[in-house]
Amino acid sequence: MIKFNNFHNTTFLSDGLILSRIANIFWILVAYVGAMVLQNIQKALFIQSIVFTFIIAIYILLYCFSHSLTNKRSWFYFIVQGSLIFISSFLVPKGSPVILLCLLPVLVAQSMTIFQKSIKILIIFIAAYFLYGVVIWLNYGLQELPIFILVFFINLTIVNFYSVIFNRQVQARLRMEYYLQELGTAHQKVEKLTLANERQRMARDLHDTLAQGLAGLIMQLEAVDAHLKKGNTNRSQEIIHQSMIRARETLRNARTVIDDLRTQSIEKTDFNCEVYGKIKEFTEATSIKVDHDIDPIPELSTLKMEHSLYMISECLTNIAKHAQAQRVNIMIKKMNKYLIMKIEDDGVGYKTNTIGKYSGNYGLLGLNERVRLIGGKIEIHSFPCSGTKISITVPIL
């Protein structure tokens, strides 16, 4: 409610309200002309008419700035405006009924717009009635008071009925403008979050395609260099041939990421075949023995299959680059409604509390991001000289 009130204050002078204000100023001028005509028909009062004109000008000026005046001095505004109406009624006494019947209902209607509490509106209403009664009594006598009060009551009822309907329309419009503004703000926030998520996704995908592919090529080239030094040209040619195949595959994957077509292409992929293919590539590139125990995995969703395959690939890449391992054990099981993936190595290990503290080591951070995106859990156990154990749990459904 506080937020809406602030919005109401800052947007009160919308186009519709400006038109309403112009209409009210026109109504005040009509009352001025009517009062002047009635007074001058019966008895012309030159000096009083000039003063009356000056007072109406002040009244209109205060009305034009009523929005800023009523923010801090609401009662002061109504007292001053009521006093101007009261004085005007005595300056042109024969035109006082027009002034009172035209301006007092507008003042009461304005109080209904400004004040939120009924007691304040009631006070303005009673004050207007009292002011009207005093002026009629002094200008026309007690014998005319009942008929004038009846006319004033009917007029006030009609004007206030219109004011209530108008205020409800204004409030509805202000609420709509407020919610549209909030919706626009929320849309901007969503757009920023979308851009941030898209950048993270691009960083992940580039790491899992280009970075991993290039890392594999580097390891194969290092193996070629080692074999060439030993004079083993046949084995070197085999590895070079594998490197060419891997380079083409990396290029194809990079193009797929750039075109954002991975989702369509991976739908026809068999999870188990892909895992065995990655194990074979890892063994050929590193000569590290891999023991595996892989159950037939039921059909996974495209998103979960994509992330699961990249997580396995990332784990193997990290082992090849950093672990200095002699043996790797991979276990993939289906337990109840979960896919359990465990990858262990007997390498040098590391301190798990250093994850994310050094720039350039994005692999493990990418693992955590991918696990979070598919609603899974990851546990990493590693100590220096004790190898590393990574356990990933992913809901199948």
The residues near 268 (Cβ < 8 Å, ≥ 6 apart) are none
**DSSP-derived secondary structure letter, 297:** P
Residue 29 lies in a domain: yes
pLDDT of residue 292: 94
- Please tell me whether residues 367 and 239 are part of one structural domain: yes
- Selection from 167, 181, 158 nearest residue 16 by Cα: 167
User: 53: domain range?
Assistant: 2-187
AA identity, residue 30: V
Same domain membership, residue 237 and residue 179:
no
| Same domain membership, residue 211 and residue 352 | yes
Q: What would the DSSP string read from start to end of 221-260?
A: HHHHHHHHHTT-HHHHHHHHHHHHHHHHHHHHHHHHHHTT
End of a domain among 160, 187, 214? 187
d(CA 212, CA 220): 12
The confidence score (pLDDT) of residue 150 equals: 74
pLDDT single digits (tens) 74-127: 778 888 888 888 888 888 888 878 887 778 777 777 777 777 677 877 787 777
Split into its structural domains, the chain has a count of 2
Q: What is the pLDDT of residue 357?
A: 54
**Which contacts (CB < 8 Å, 24+ apart) does range 201-206 have?**
202/257, 203/362, 203/366, 204/310, 204/366, 204/369, 204/370, 205/257, 205/262, 206/254, 206/257
The pLDDT of residue 355 is 60
The verdict on 18 and 126 lying in the same domain is: yes
Q: Record the tokens describing residue 244, joined without a space.
A: 């060419």
Residues of the chain with pLDDT under 70: 1-17, 19, 116, 145, 156, 159-160, 162-163, 167, 195, 198, 201-211, 252-268, 353-363
> Is the same domain home to 253 and 156?
no
CA 323 to chain centre: 44
Question: How distant, in Å, are the alpha carbons of 12, 34, 73, 76, 290 from that of 9?
Answer: 6, 34, 14, 19, 71
Quick one: CA torsion of 11, 12, 18, 20, rounded to 10 degrees?
A: 140
Assigned domain for 192 exists: no
In this structure, are residues 268 and 306 in contact, taking their beta carbons and an 8 Å threshold?
Answer: no
pLDDT at residue number 81: 82
Q: What is the CATH number of the domain that holds 372?
A: 3.30.565.10
If asked whether residues 49 and 171 sit together in one domain, one would say: yes
Q: Does residue 368 share a domain with residue 270?
A: yes
Q: Are residues 320 and 228 in the same domain?
A: yes
CA dihedral of 353, 357, 361, 364, whole degrees rounded to 10: 40
Same domain, 172 and 225: no
Beta-carbon contacts of residue 209 (< 8 Å; ≥ 6 apart): 250, 253, 254, 256, 257
274 Cβ contact partners less than 8 Å away, ≥ 6 residues apart? 309
96-114 vs 74-91: helix crossing angle, rounded to 10? 170
Q: Tell me what percent of the chain is helix, strand and coil, each rounded to the nearest 5.
A: 75, 10, 15
Cα 388 to Cα 212, 285, 363: the distances in Å are 19, 20, 14
Residue where a domain stops, chosen among 159, 187, 215? 187
Task: Name the β-bridge partners of 382.
Answer: 388
C-alpha distances out from residue 348 to 55, 308, 323, Å? 93, 25, 5
Q: What is the pLDDT of residues 330-376, one digit of tens each?
A: 999 999 889 999 999 999 988 776 665 544 455 677 788 889 888 89
In a domain, 249, yes or no: yes
Residues 157 and 159: their CA atoms lie apart, in Å, by 6
Q: What angle (nearest 5°) sits at the alpha carbon of residue 375, between those of residues 320 and 384?
A: 35
Are 168 and 64 found together in one domain? Answer: yes
pLDDT of residue 258: 62
Residues 271 and 161 in one domain: no
**End residue of a domain, out of 187, 206, 231:** 187
pLDDT value at position 195? 67
Quick one: 321 exposed, middle or buried, by C-beta within 10 A (0-12, 13-18, 19+)? middle
Q: Of 324, 240, 248, 313, which Cα lies nearest the Cα of 281?
A: 313
- Candidates 19, 2, 4; CA nearest to 180 is 4
